[in-house]
Amino acid sequence: MRMEWKHRHVLDLKDWTREEILLLLDQAKNMDDLMDRPIKKVPALRGKLVVNLFFEASTRTRVSFELAEKMLSADVVNWSASGSSVGKGETLRDTAWTLEAMGADAVVIRHGSVGSAHYLAKKLHRASVFNGGDGAYSHPTQALLDAYTAWKHFKNLEGRKISIIGDILHSRVARSDIRVFRELGCEIVLSGPETLMPLDVKALGVSYEPDPRKAVSGSDIVYLLRIQRERQEEGLFPSLDEYYLRFGADLDLVMHAKQEALVMHPGPINRRVEIDSSVADGAQSRILQQVRSGVAVRMALLYLCLGGVMA
């Protein structure tokens, strides 16, 4: 079966249709099976150069991309730029042109500035850009691996309810997950302190419920976001302890969801802040499956976007 895959880049999920997401999930399934083989390698991207350009510290996402790239036999270069991109050293524009000159076929970028992946894509004529996270806007591969994890379990996501608890305001994971799950037909409720919510939740197509127990009621998936210490230091909520008391996912909170509900978290988890160990390590948790899904989903994206673009 042949089909047109029209995305050269994966910057955000704004224009992805339901059909495209489902195709991606289907392809991820076949990539997933590769991980059970004795030889976890196929030659599909042999000779392609992929550069991992990580301006923000990240082990999990970078390693996950790296595994996916290597399993497809691509050549991998890791370019970590520690320190901020504001005026220190080379500008992103110059970095882009350098990468192009080096012959990169794909660049995976994680950067603190919203729109940095879009910016890079505008500057590159040939290479594909994969957004590994840009500020608080988008983390499309995370959302797709979350969708894959849920889809593998439920098979059909239409009409399901998802509650997302935590710091939505600063979360690219939340924004991307909202996009992907809405496109797949889910209903989404947000919860957490109002100081950590965006002003216009309607614009996102979701609703807000300040009481997490109410928010979680009837949910098929309880999705927890990481709480960052910096937000507490900014004065947006008084203490991590109080956060855990009001919004932390312990067995009591999760009990309010459906009995077969899944618990998900993008990782790394803060035990006793947004989630209790009994839940993180419990039967409903899909946190480790999400990690495995990440490699499969990223392989599928690399294959679809990089194969056969040049005639």
Partner 1 sequence: MKLREKARLMSETDIERALRRMAHEIVESNKGLKEVVLVGIQRRGVFLANRIREVLRQIEQEKVPTGELDITLYRDDLTLLHDHPVVHSTSMPLDITGKRIILVDDVIYTGRTIRAALDALMDLGRPSVVQLAVLVDRGHRELPVAPNFVGKNVPTSREEVVEVRVTEIDGINEVVICEREA
Partner 2 sequence: MILFKNGKIFDGQAFHEGLQDVLVTEGRVDRIGPGIEADGAKRIDLGGKTLSPGFIDLHCHMRDPGFEWREDIRTAAAAAARGGFTTAVSMPNTDPAIDNDALIRYVIEKGKAAGFARVLPAGSVSKGREGKELAEMGKMAEAGCVLFTDDGAPIGSPRLFRTALLYSRDLGVRIMEHPEESSLSKGGHVNEGRCSSLSGLKGMPSSSEEIGVFKAISLCRETGVPVHVTHLSTGRSVHLVREAKKEGVPVTCDVTPHHLCLSEECVIDSGFDSRYKVNPPLRSKRDLEALWEALSDGTVDAIATDHAPWHLDEKDLPFPEAPFGIPSLECAFAAVYTEWLGKGQPFGMERLMALFTKGPASILPKGWSDLGMLAPGSLADLVVIDTDIEDVVSVSSWRSKARISAWEGKSLKGWPVMVFVEGKPVYSQQGEKTK
Binding footprint of partner 1 on the chain (CB under 8 A): 1-5, 23, 26-27, 29-31, 33, 37-39, 41-44, 72, 300, 303-304, 307-308, 310-311
Cβ(223)–Cβ(165) below 8 Å: yes
E strand or H helix that includes residue 183: helix 172-183
Q: Is residue 110 near partner 2 by the rule CB under 8 A?
A: no
Q: Is 203 in the site for partner 2 (CB under 8 A)?
A: yes
CB 8, min distance to partner 1, A: 12
Q: What are the residues whose beta carbons fall under 8 Å from the beta carbon of 125, sequence distance 6 or more?
A: 100
Among partner 1, partner 2, none, what does residue 85 contact (CB within 5–8 Å per kind)? partner 2
Provide the edge-to-edge strand list for the sheet that holds 106-111: 75-80, 49-54, 106-111, 128-134
Query: Is residue 1 part of the contact set for partner 2 (CB under 8 A)?
Result: no
Return the one option of partner 1, partner 2, none that residue 289 interacts with (CB less than 5 to 8 A, by type).
Answer: none
Transcribe 92-140 into DSSP letters: HHHHHHHHHHHT-SEEEEEESSTTHHHHHHHH-SS-EEEEEEETTTB-H
Interface with partner 2 by CB under 8 A: which range of 112-120, 157-165, 185-193, 287-295? 112-120
Spatial contact of 125 and 8, defined as CB atoms under 8 Å apart: no
Written as six digits, the tokens of 167 are 């710091």
CA dist 100 and 61 (Å) reads 23
Q: How far apart are the first and last CA of the chain?
A: 19
The partner in contact with residue 308, picked from partner 2, partner 1, none with C-beta cut-offs of 5 to 8 angstroms by kind, is: partner 1
Indicate whether 200 belongs to the interface with partner 2 (CB under 8 A): yes
Residue 95 within binding range of partner 2, rule CB under 8 A: no
Structure tokens at 239: 């203490």
Phi, psi values for residue 275, rounded to 5°: -150, 145
Residue 20 CB, shortest distance to partner 1, in Å, is 12
User: Least CB distance from residue 195 to partner 1, whole Å?
Assistant: 45
> Interface with partner 2 includes 88 (CB under 8 A)?
no
Count of residues of this chain found to bind partner 2 when the rule CB under 8 A is applied: 32
Residue pointed to by tokens 């379990």 = 153
Question: Mask of contacts with partner 2, 204-243, x by CB under 8 A?
Answer: x---------------------------------------
DSSP-based three-state secondary structure for 85: coil
Q: Which stretch binds partner 2 (CB under 8 A): 151-159, 200-208, 236-244, 282-290?
A: 200-208
Minimum distance of partner 1 from residue 308's CB (angstroms): 4
Q: Are 301 and 16 in contact (CB under 8 A)?
A: no
CA distance 61 to 41: 20
Cβ nearer to partner 1, comparing 5 with 154: 5
**CA-to-CA distance for 201 and 211, rounded, in angstroms?**
16
Nearer to partner 2, 91 or 278 (CB): 91
For partner 2, which residue of 170, 231, 265, 286 counts as binding (CB under 8 A)?
170
| Residues in contact with partner 2 by the rule CB under 8 A | 11, 14, 85-86, 91-93, 111-116, 118-119, 121-122, 135-138, 169-172, 175, 198-201, 203-204
